[in-house]
Amino acid sequence: MPKGWPIPGLSPADCARHEAIEEAGVSGEISSTSIGWFRYLKRCKNEELLPCKVEVFALEVSRQRRNWLEKHLREIRWCSVEEAVARVSEPGLRRLIARFAETLPTEDKVAAR
């Protein structure tokens, strides 16, 4: 799940689009409204835990680049929704993915991780 900090001058959806390209190399049509949010503790470089609220936007991926900014830092894996839910550690994000998947047609139930 690409996550990032707000970017001045960009809407939350555009920030999500930016993070998807930067962290996963994917682009496509993004929803203008969030599908929900979850909270988690982000471990900072100094080992401090920072509570964060993440607003999530659906992205219909139409392209994945061969190379992108953070490719060497990320593991990308396309998988079923069920596998994505099983692999995600944050309970709030697991619930959000499962709830969103219920709204998808069967053939679209694939997620990137």
Quick check: is 44 in a domain?
Answer: yes
The two tokens of residue 3 are: 């996550």
4 located within any domain: no
- How far is C-alpha 27 from the chain's CA centre? 12
- One-letter identity of residue 108: D
Whether 7 is covered by a domain: the verdict is no
The answer to whether residue 6 is domain-embedded is: no
Q: Give Cβ neighbours of residue 65 (< 8 Å, ≥ 6 apart).
A: 21, 25, 26, 27
* Residue 105, pLDDT score: 79
Per-residue pLDDT of the chain (113 residues; tens, 9 = 90+): 788 889 999 999 999 999 999 999 999 999 999 999 999 999 998 999 999 999 999 999 999 999 998 999 988 889 988 899 999 999 999 999 999 999 887 665 555 44
pLDDT for the residue 113? 47
pTM of the model: 0.84
Q: Any idea what the CATH number is for the domain that residue 88 is in?
A: 3.90.79.10
Give me the number of domains the chain comprises: 1
Q: Which domain holds residue 39?
A: 12-112
Q: How far apart are CA 32 and CA 73, in angstroms?
A: 28
Region of 9 please: left (phi>0), alpha (psi -120 to 50) or beta.
left
List residues bridging with 45 in a β-sheet: none
Q: What's the DSSP call for residue 47?
A: S
Amino acid 87 reads R
Does residue 1 fall inside a structural domain?
A: no
Number of H helices, E strands in the chain: 3, 6
Q: What was the pLDDT predicted at 77? A: 87
Specify the DSSP class assigned to residue 69: T
Residue 2's pLDDT is what? Answer: 81
* 5 within a domain of the structure (yes/no): no
Q: Do the domain assignments include residue 37?
A: yes
Residue 107, pLDDT score = 61
Amino acid at 39: R
**Is 75 part of a structural domain of the chain?**
yes
DSSP-derived secondary structure letter, 97 = H
